Chain A
């Protein structure tokens, strides 16, 4: 029986529990319980201070509320934690597209693709680049 992955934060937490908490936050977000979702994400961000994922989730939450500047701040903060995170660059590019900063967005998305050229994050960045090329967004 393989031992379950532990995430070392303030305390050691099993990875499945972190995933469960983040999924709960997303569910709350889908239920339009934004305050509760933010509390969950903040809790996870405090629990694993080295991970950029909870900050990306908070950025997504702000973005879904139309708070683009706040979303960008969260993504920038996430970048401070993990500068070479393809996920953060991709989400940052998304926010920049909607802030009409197309050149910066393109740069961020290309950076994301250069870090991770395959996988779900790369597909996300590629689809955003396609949207820029088609001038859809």
Chain B
């Protein structure tokens, strides 16, 4: 008797195409990353809106623009070729892209800590302008020049505002003088009409 024989069964072929199972990424790293990216976007949008209304707005605008640049690099995934591929093995493409874009190699830190894309993102945000090829001293010089430009703009604005105030005061004086002339002329005519001799 053959034990290998399958009793009462026939071989059936399944014709349903198989597909890779896709589950929602709910691991800690992905959730943390999504939360931080959303938070950073909200903060940067808020700063963009508020930038024109605060002193040194040019600097804030530049900083916010740098942040956006970094964020776009990060969300792109794989902007830095070699580090991106290195990081994709650990956290997935997006996380590795975020960490690799700004620093070009901090994906390793993320890999070892599990939630380590946070320092990567931080560095990305801070060095948004550095990613464009400027050194920190250049950035500082750039900031200084922006501060100087802002101060000059404010001084110019103050002068223009003073000029406007003086013009309005001059116009007000002229208006009052002419108004007074017309009133006194009317009074004089009225008085003359009633005193014809």
Bind each other: yes
Most buried by B among A18, A124, A131: A124
Binding site for A on B (CB under 8 A): 173-174, 177-178, 180-181, 184-185, 187-194, 196-197
What are 9 A-to-B residue pairs whose CB atoms are below 8 Å? A7-B196, A7-B197, A26-B189, A48-B196, A51-B196, A57-B189, A87-B188, A123-B188, A127-B177
A-B contacts counted at CB < 8 A amount to 63
Among the listed B173, B192, B194, B196, which residue makes an inter-chain contact with A134, where contact means beta carbons less than 8 Å apart? Answer: B173
With A and B bound together, what is the CA distance between A91 and B145 in angstroms?
Answer: 63
Q: Are A19 and B180 in contact (CB under 8 A)?
A: no
Q: Interface residues of A toward B: which range?
A: 20 to 34
Residues from 75 to 115 in A contacting B, C-beta threshold 8 Å: 87, 90, 94
Chain A residues, Cβ within 8 Å of B191: 119-121
Q: Are B194 and A136 in contact (CB under 8 A)?
A: no
Binding site for B on A (CB under 8 A): 7, 15, 18-19, 22-23, 26, 48, 51, 53, 56-57, 60, 87, 90, 94, 119-121, 123-124, 126-128, 130-131, 134, 136-137
Q: Are B188 and A121 in contact (CB under 8 A)?
A: yes
Among the listed A7, A94, A130, which residue makes an inter-chain contact with B177, where contact means beta carbons less than 8 Å apart? Answer: A130
Chain B residues, Cβ within 8 Å of A87: 188, 192
Closest 4 CB pairs of A and B: A124-B184, A120-B187, A120-B188, A124-B188
